[in-house]
A and B are shown apart, each in its own frame.
Chain A
Amino acid sequence: MAPNSIHWFRKGLRLHDNPALREAVQGAATVRCVYFLDPWFAGSSNVGVNRWRFLLQCLEDLDSNLRKLNSRLFVIRGQPANVFPRLFKEWKISRLTFEYDSEPFGKERDAAIKKLAMEAGVEVIVKISHTLYNLDKIIELNGGQPPLTYKRFQTLISRLDPPEMPVETLSDTLMGSCITPISDDHGEKYGVPSLEELGFDTEGLPSAVWPGGETEALTRIERHLERKAWVANFERPRMNANSLLASPTGLSPYLRFGCLSCRLFYFKLTDLYRKVKKNSSPPLSLYGQLLWREFFYTAATNNPRFDKMEGNPICVRIPWDKNPEALAKWAEAKTGFPWIDAIMTQLRQEGWIHHLARHAVACFLTRGDLWISWEEGMKVFEELLLDADWSVNAGSWMWLSCSSFFQQFFHCYCPVGFGRRTDPNGDFIRRYLPVLRGFPAKFIYDPWNAPESVQAAAKCIIGLHYPKPMVHHAEASRLNIERMKQIYQQLSRYRGLVHRRLALTPLTPVHVPSWVRARSLFSTTPSILLSNGISSVRLYPHLWLTCSGGGRLVTFCLHPKI
Chain B
Amino acid sequence: MKRGLQENEREEGGGPSAGSQETPDWTSKQRREEDEEEEDEGVNWECLPQEILLHIFQHLPLLDRAFASQVCRGWNQAFHMPELWRCFEFELNQPASSYLKATHPDLIKQIIKRHSNHLQYVSFKVDSSTESAEAACDILSQLVNCSLKTLGLISTARPSFMEMPKSHFISALTVVFVNSKSLSSLKIDDTPVDDPSLKVLVANNSDTLKLLKMSSCPHVSPAGIMCVADQCHGLRELALNYHLLSDELLIALSSERHVHLEHLRINVVSENPGQQFHSIKKSSWDAMVRHSPKFNLVMYFFIYEEEFDPFFRDEIPVTHLYFGRSVSKDVLGRVGLTCPRLVELVVCANGLRPLDEELIRIAQHCTQLSAIGLGECEVSCSAFVEFVKMCGDRLTQLSIMEEVLVPDHRYELDDIHWEVSKHLGRVWFPDMMPTW
Contacts and interface: CB of A to CB of B under 8 A. Distances in A.
Contacts of A524: 237, 239, 263, 265, 298
Interface string B99-125: 110000000000000000000110101
B270 A474 contact: yes
A518 B436 contact: no
Interface stretch (B134-142, B149-157, B329-337): B149-157
B237 A523 contact: yes
Contacts of A413: 376
Interface string A491-517: 000000000110000000001011101
Contact of B127 (A289, A319, A414, A528): A319
Contact of A289 (B100, B269, B429, B436): B436
* Among A252, A481, A522, A532, residue most surrounded by chain B Cβ atoms (within 10 Å): A522
Contacts of A531: 397
B100 A319 contact: yes
B413 interface: yes
B348 A322 contact: no
A303 B215 CA distance: 40
Contacts of A527: 320, 344, 371, 397
A309 B435 contact: no
A236 interface: yes
Given A309-B99, A355-B434, A355-B436, A474 B269 contact: yes
Interface string B60-104: 110000000000000000000000101101000000111110000
Interface stretch (A72-80, A205-213, A343-351, A404-412): A404-412
Interface in A395-433: 395-396, 399-400, 407-408, 410-414, 417-418, 421
B325 to A, nearest CB: 6
A293 B436 contact: yes
Interface string B184-195: 010101100000
Contact of A517 (B87, B190, B239): B87
Contact of A410 (B302, B375, B436): B375
A488 interface: no
Nearest to B300: A478
Contact of B435 (A289, A482, A530, A549): A289
Given A373-B99, A412-B324, A323 B156 contact: no
Contacts of A371: 157-158
Interface in B408-436: 412-414, 426-427, 429, 431-436
Nearest to A557: B427
B309 interface: no
A307 interface: no
Nearest to B407: A235
A531 B373 CA distance: 12
B401 interface: yes
B296 A526 contact: yes
Interface in A240-281: 252
Contacts of A549: 10-11
B216 to A, nearest CB: 8
Contacts of B273: 449
Given A321-B97, A486-B154, A559 B427 contact: yes
12 contacts: A239-B403, A392-B436, A399-B434, A410-B322, A411-B349, A421-B349, A474-B269, A474-B324, A511-B59, A524-B237, A526-B263, A531-B397
Shortest 4 CB-CB contacts between residues of A and residues of B: A411-B375, A319-B156, A559-B427, A514-B87
